[in-house]
Structure 1
Amino acid sequence: MCGIWATFGVEGGLSATCLKCFSAIVHRGPDAWRIDQDAREPKAILGFQRLAIVDGLHGMQPMRLHRYPRITLICNGEIYNFNRLREQYHYPYETNCDVEAIIHNYENFGIADAVKRLDGVFAFCLVDGEKKKIYIARDPYGVRPLFKLQDDEKGILAISSEAKGLVGIKQKLGEKLALGQFPPGHFEEWDILVDGTVKYNYTEQYFKPGTPPRFIPFVSENELSKFNVYEKTAYLLEAACKKRLMSDRRIGCLLSGGLDSSLITALVVKLAKIHKLPYKIQTFAIGMGDSPDLIAARTVADYLGTEHHEVRFDENDVKEALDNVIYHLESFDITTIRASLPMYLLSKYIKENTDTTVVFSGEGADELAQGYIYFRDAPNETAAHEESIRLLSDIYLYDGLRADRTTSAFSLELRVPFLDIQFTSHYLSIEPSFRQPQNGVEKHLLRKSFAKSGLLPDSILYRHKEAFSDGVASVKKSLFTTIEEIIKERLPENNLRFPGLQPHSLESKYYRHVFEKSFPGQYNFTPYYWMPKWVQVSDPSARFIKHYAAS
């Protein structure tokens, strides 16, 4: 997890505004920073905020190689198959940094094939000074963030890992500049013109959820042929965790005690023992009082023998964090903000009290494996499958965004095995009816895949789905009730008016009010409020769905 930032075609070079914007993403990479301005391209400025995870000595960016001196790369990401690419194509690596593979792929295959051959999570900007080209690209599910600011008339392009790194530039250069997220699974080409301005050429989608990998997979089809569908599912999820162990920093796990985070934690603990990591895996749980999540996470941690940390928060912590959470999220979505508060507070604890820097989490499982309670109301398996695809396509706007921003706010790097390309491709290829809830049990296929593994107690493997704001809070009082009480004290007036997506409650009005302070007029960042499908509810909490069984 790092921060990338660049401007092209902007007059004035490294102005005070540019430096302030670049500094706005320093939390993504506090270990070192660098800004490059090539004398041959005076209107091209590339910046990098580094969190050192792999190759602390040679991993600094912007990256240039002796073999390709006119290629410059900035990338926030991890390329899990960088060693396999070196062996397959005999790449002469100059560093031990995984993102070097992007440059070799580009030089050997061109941008379109280069991105398809990457097994990893990434957002990058590659400048070819010889061909006068700029390429930007983002990983298939948008695990790593990327924002783009452009003005086609003025020939301006700017990119940043977070919007807060671009808002000031937009305000200085003019409100007509378009600012928004760069879509996952896409790459884009631009020309550098003689006067230093740039010209947009085209955008191409190279990945859609469910499509098979275009790279040589981590696990071969021959190796998988001996397994049934359940064994294959378990094997590939473990492989997804294994490839994500690459790190020179300490690894830990976010643990709610739910199925998803518990499975990932169990697999990481198993792999840590196999690979003889020189430390015990730390686990982190958060809740109010003795919440259901804290109790369940404690059960898992005791079972696995982790170095467990419990974090308790109260109403005062919510009051203090709420506005900061909205700033870091760059969203005013109700569900996203509610769920981000505990994760933000937990990340703060990890940063201030431990030496863990890389954290595994269970994001993506609900979207992929139909884990949301409302999937019980799907009219048929086809509709359920299409909803999974939709959720995965938009995860970068909601749960994926939440997971990245709450952890990066405190300079942690997130790893999400459930969004592994080989694993998601396998899971979405399974007969749709198998992936639906069975006998009122969500993620039945996933649970059955690990039923005989002994990785988790049955009480956890078959634990009912919690609404997140209920799991971290008490049974009597949900987290969103606490938030609503705080907002009633803070909302300046009830007749606030906003363009675009309209708030429909005091809570949503407050979120939008705070959002507009830092990101005025950028309502496009949240295209719609996340809500359950096929059910009639006025609030996104699962507590209001008739099937909700948590108690």
Structure 2
Amino acid sequence: MCGILAIHNPAGGVTEAELRRGLAVLRHRGPDGTGVWLSPDRTVGIGHTRLGVIDPLGGRQPLVSEDGTVVAAVNGEFYDHDRIRRELESRGHVFRTRSDSEILVHLYEDDSDGVAARLRGEFAFVLWDTRRRRLLAARDPFGVKPLVFHADSRRTVFASEAKALFALGVPAAWDAAALWQVCGMQYPLPGQTLFRGVRELLPGGAATLSPTGPPTIWEYDPIEANVAGTTDGDSGHLAALLRAKLDEAVRLRLRADVPVCFHLSGGLDSTSIVALAKRHLGRPPVCFTVGFDAPAYDELDEARESAAFLGAELHEVRVSQRDQFDHLEDAVYYSEGLAINGHLPAKYLLARAVRRAGFKVVLSGEGADEILGGYAHFRQDLLGDDPAALAALKAANADMAGIQLPEGDGLPLAAVQERFGFVPAFLQAKATLGLRLRGLLRPEFVAEFAAVDPYREFVARFPRLTGRDRVDVSSHLWTRSALAKYILRTLGDGTEMAHGVEGRVPFLDPVLARFASGLPTSVKIRDGVEKWLLREALKDVLPPAVYARRKHPFTAPPPARFAREFFRDRLSPTALAGSPCFDPAAVGRFLDQLDTAGDAARTAADPALMIVLTSVLLQERLGLSA
């Protein structure tokens, strides 16, 4: 896992000094070395900060093909690279390193723009073809690794993080339209970032640049285009296939020239990963888990139970309310995103503990809920209009009210209903958050965007979701928003790479994910049990309690419930004076109302207050202008 940077300026004048200036703010992503490459005519520069995982001594980047005509920088990992290397060598390609990344330049020589579809892993890359004078950039299908860019009439710049673009002179400013979107449904639109003039390359997306014209952008692997409900077989056969594919995904992600560890919450997803990995390691797995000082949010007992059953070594990272506040600003800075809960600084401290213990690579269970129907809101979508079943579901998942399950009134969702014939439960929940945030906005900001429906803008990005069942539609919408924009980028890469830790996510292996996309919903959710097929596939290696345990999303004790004075201090009229969207007086009234509110109301208010707070912290830390 690394930091990458590329500058394309057809007029020339790219310098090593500006490359190194951009790389300096990405050093946390790759503390083991820095490399730069400049084209002889100074029209292209490529930079790289390295986290040495495969071939730590010899795999320096940027990488150059044997004849010097292809240059590339890679962030992430390519799996099954030994097999691909042998295939390439049999065709006459000569390798200079043992790095997995080097397969990219040789595959490109054979496959040109089709190279991204040949790669299996979590990655983002930039590549310069000196013969064709074109730059190619791409991201993995789920967007595990970030890649943003800025293009103007003079140059195009790609980087792993927006702060590197700001270091190169791109104005650090809020994108007002993106803020409106966030205040409506929490997430910017696919391809949109919080920052003016900065776009993200879509997951499964690629871009090419030539000496003339703007970037050409396309999707080489749009996940919503995968065909759903087509995998045949009885449940026993499907369970065996799922286990085999997950086992392979785990085995491939254990490949590293440095020690590998695991997240272990005691839930189904992370325990499944550790259980399968144990069979390949030949040693006790080393695991890390977070504990909170509020019993309702603490899962230490469950993690200990799983660790004992699996014979794993467990490191406990205790996170207090004070810890959340003390590290929130740093977590926001590195993640470049807005949070809805104190789980952001908790993930930041978890990654810090992993690195301090001497690990650079951690495997986690993210993605299982998306590909196998794990969240409570998917079950609500499946239940439809059954009042009794819906009431029971909400009672059993009260901590998800207003976050993943709807609670109270929300913004209008007619556009979603028109587009899909129903409204996914998680969008109903986001609409309730949006209504709370709408009451905290400056009147002039509301007036500027009053004609823009954030949900109509969102659903317009998904033209291919036809003929799908409710759970499948909901899963794809969630994957492109919550997973890509928040779980993987803000909570995942943002917190892990702050400490130079590479996160690997076996459930998002493209081979496994494509298999899962063809599974019928009936084996993903059966008799109200989420991820039913995964439970059956791994029943013999899981602790009995984990097999039976329901999903518990990773959330921290809500600061709005336990520490209102902290919000009063940090969200003062002075602190909010420079906010382009939030009204200091409205926020003050909202805080006043919480003084007499009950715990449930304070918990429901927490996501809105956290978005306001983290926007203030991000603006201060990055020096964002309106």
Measured against the shorter chain, the TM-score band is 0.7 to 0.9
CA contact (8 A) 1:124 1:136 kept: yes
Deviation of the 1:432 alpha carbon: 2.3
Once residues 389 and 32 of structure 1 are traced to their aligned partners in structure 2, the CA distance between those partners, rounded to angstroms, is: 38
Structure 2 equivalent of residue 195 of structure 1: none
Whichever residue aligns with residue 358 of structure 2, its letter is D
Matches within 5 A, 1:272-351: 272-273=281-282, 280-289=284-293, 292-335=298-341, 338-351=342-355
Structure 1 equivalent of residue 135 of structure 2: 134
SS in 2 for 1:468: coil
Whichever residue aligns with residue 361 of structure 1, its letter is S
Give 1:188's match in structure 2, choosing from 204, 207, 212: 207
Question: Residues 232, 513 of structure 1: CA spacing in aligned structure 2 closer, same or farther, 3 A cutoff?
Answer: same
Deviation of the 1:361 alpha carbon: 0.4
Whichever residue aligns with residue 6 of structure 2, its letter is A
SS in 2 for 1:351: helix
Structure 2 equivalent of residue 408 of structure 1: 497
Structure 2 equivalent of residue 536 of structure 1: none
Deviation of the 1:315 alpha carbon: 2.0
CA contact (8 A) 1:488 1:506 kept: no
CA contact (8 A) 2:253 2:504 kept: yes
Structure 1 equivalent of residue 544 of structure 2: 458
Once residues 145 and 173 of structure 2 are traced to their aligned partners in structure 1, the CA distance between those partners, rounded to angstroms, is: 27
Question: Residues 484, 416 of structure 1: CA spacing in aligned structure 2 closer, same or farther, 3 A cutoff?
Answer: farther
What are the superposed Cα offsets for residues 254-294 of structure 1, whole Å, 9 maximum, x if unpaired? 11111111111111112212xxxxx5421011112466411
Deviation of the 1:168 alpha carbon: 2.9
Question: Residues 267, 175 of structure 1: CA spacing in aligned structure 2 closer, same or farther, 3 A cutoff?
Answer: closer
Deviation of the 1:200 alpha carbon: 2.5
What are the superposed Cα offsets for residues 120-146 of structure 1, whole Å, 9 maximum, x if unpaired? 121111101121111111111111111
Once residues 318 and 178 of structure 1 are traced to their aligned partners in structure 2, the CA distance between those partners, rounded to angstroms, is: 31
Structure 2 equivalent of residue 440 of structure 1: 528
Question: Residues 146, 500 of structure 1: CA spacing in aligned structure 2 closer, same or farther, 3 A cutoff?
Answer: farther
SS in 2 for 1:387: helix
Q: Is 1:382–2:469 an aligned residue pair?
A: yes
Once residues 625 and 271 of structure 2 are traced to their aligned partners in structure 1, the CA distance between those partners, rounded to angstroms, is: 37
Give 2:239's match in structure 1, choosing from 230, 241, 252: 230
Matches within 5 A, 1:121-520: 121-151=122-152, 153-154=153-154, 156-171=155-170, 178-192=197-211, 199-209=213-223, 228-273=237-282, 280-289=284-293, 292-335=298-341, 338-352=342-356, 354-379=357-382, 382-394=469-481, 395-401=483-489, 402-436=491-525, 438-451=526-539, 453=540, 455-469=541-555, 473=557, 478=558, 481-482=561-562, 484-493=564-573, 496=577, 498-499=579-580, 505-519=608-622
Deviation of the 1:170 alpha carbon: 3.9
Once residues 201 and 305 of structure 1 are traced to their aligned partners in structure 2, the CA distance between those partners, rounded to angstroms, is: 51
CA contact (8 A) 2:275 2:542 kept: yes
Q: Is 1:57–2:60 an aligned residue pair?
A: no
Once residues 70 and 337 of structure 2 are traced to their aligned partners in structure 1, the CA distance between those partners, rounded to angstroms, is: 35
Once residues 369 and 178 of structure 1 are traced to their aligned partners in structure 2, the CA distance between those partners, rounded to angstroms, is: 36
CA contact (8 A) 2:172 2:623 kept: no
Once residues 58 and 315 of structure 1 are traced to their aligned partners in structure 2, the CA distance between those partners, rounded to angstroms, is: 43
Question: Residues 315, 333 of structure 1: CA spacing in aligned structure 2 closer, same or farther, 3 A cutoff?
Answer: closer
Once residues 321 and 4 of structure 1 are traced to their aligned partners in structure 2, the CA distance between those partners, rounded to angstroms, is: 26
Once residues 174 and 355 of structure 1 are traced to their aligned partners in structure 2, the CA distance between those partners, rounded to angstroms, is: 37
Once residues 12 and 621 of structure 2 are traced to their aligned partners in structure 1, the CA distance between those partners, rounded to angstroms, is: 24
Q: Give the gaps of 5 or more residues in structure 1.
A: 193-197, 214-220, 274-278, 524-551
SS in 2 for 1:4: strand
Structure 1 equivalent of residue 102 of structure 2: 100
What are the superposed Cα offsets for residues 304-362 of structure 1, whole Å, 9 maximum, x if unpaired? 11121111121221121011111111111425xx322211111111222x122110001
Greater alpha carbon shift after TM alignment, 163-172 vs 389-398: 163-172
Question: Residues 189, 393 of structure 1: CA spacing in aligned structure 2 closer, same or farther, 3 A cutoff?
Answer: same
Question: Residues 53, 415 of structure 1: CA spacing in aligned structure 2 closer, same or farther, 3 A cutoff?
Answer: same
Once residues 488 and 270 of structure 1 are traced to their aligned partners in structure 2, the CA distance between those partners, rounded to angstroms, is: 51
Whichever residue aligns with residue 413 of structure 1, its letter is E
Once residues 132 and 396 of structure 1 are traced to their aligned partners in structure 2, the CA distance between those partners, rounded to angstroms, is: 31
Instruction: Give the aligned length.
Output: 487
What are the superposed Cα offsets for residues 489-540 of structure 1, whole Å, 9 maximum, x if unpaired? 22122865755799994332211111222456699xxxxxxxxxxxxxxxxx
Question: Residues 342, 174 of structure 1: CA spacing in aligned structure 2 closer, same or farther, 3 A cutoff?
Answer: closer
Whichever residue aligns with residue 110 of structure 1, its letter is S
Question: Residues 367, 483 of structure 1: CA spacing in aligned structure 2 closer, same or farther, 3 A cutoff?
Answer: farther
SS in 2 for 1:362: coil
Once residues 210 and 18 of structure 1 are traced to their aligned partners in structure 2, the CA distance between those partners, rounded to angstroms, is: 36
Deviation of the 1:212 alpha carbon: 6.5
SS in 2 for 1:398: helix
Once residues 307 and 300 of structure 2 are traced to their aligned partners in structure 1, the CA distance between those partners, rounded to angstroms, is: 10
Once residues 249 and 237 of structure 2 are traced to their aligned partners in structure 1, the CA distance between those partners, rounded to angstroms, is: 18
Once residues 128 and 310 of structure 2 are traced to their aligned partners in structure 1, the CA distance between those partners, rounded to angstroms, is: 47
Deviation of the 1:179 alpha carbon: 0.8
Once residues 330 and 521 of structure 2 are traced to their aligned partners in structure 1, the CA distance between those partners, rounded to angstroms, is: 41
- Larger RCO: 1 or 2 (CA < 8 Å, sep 6+): 2
Structure 2 equivalent of residue 37 of structure 1: 38
Once residues 467 and 351 of structure 1 are traced to their aligned partners in structure 2, the CA distance between those partners, rounded to angstroms, is: 24
Deviation of the 1:211 alpha carbon: 5.8
- Which of the two has greater helix per residue? 2
CA contact (8 A) 2:25 2:167 kept: no
Greater alpha carbon shift after TM alignment, 509-518 vs 325-334: 509-518
CA contact (8 A) 2:172 2:624 kept: no
CA contact (8 A) 1:79 1:118 kept: yes
CA contact (8 A) 1:496 1:509 kept: no
CA contact (8 A) 1:77 1:123 kept: yes
Question: Residues 96, 345 of structure 1: CA spacing in aligned structure 2 closer, same or farther, 3 A cutoff?
Answer: same
CA contact (8 A) 2:122 2:504 kept: no
Once residues 308 and 174 of structure 1 are traced to their aligned partners in structure 2, the CA distance between those partners, rounded to angstroms, is: 42
Q: Percent identity?
A: 28
CA contact (8 A) 1:282 1:356 kept: no
Q: CA RMSD in A?
A: 2.9
Once residues 197 and 12 of structure 2 are traced to their aligned partners in structure 1, the CA distance between those partners, rounded to angstroms, is: 18
Question: Residues 235, 173 of structure 1: CA spacing in aligned structure 2 closer, same or farther, 3 A cutoff?
Answer: closer
Greater alpha carbon shift after TM alignment, 400-409 vs 379-388: 379-388
Whichever residue aligns with residue 529 of structure 2, its letter is V
SS in 1 for 2:561: helix
Question: Residues 178, 495 of structure 1: CA spacing in aligned structure 2 closer, same or farther, 3 A cutoff?
Answer: closer
Whichever residue aligns with residue 458 of structure 1, its letter is P
Greater alpha carbon shift after TM alignment, 101-110 vs 491-500: 491-500
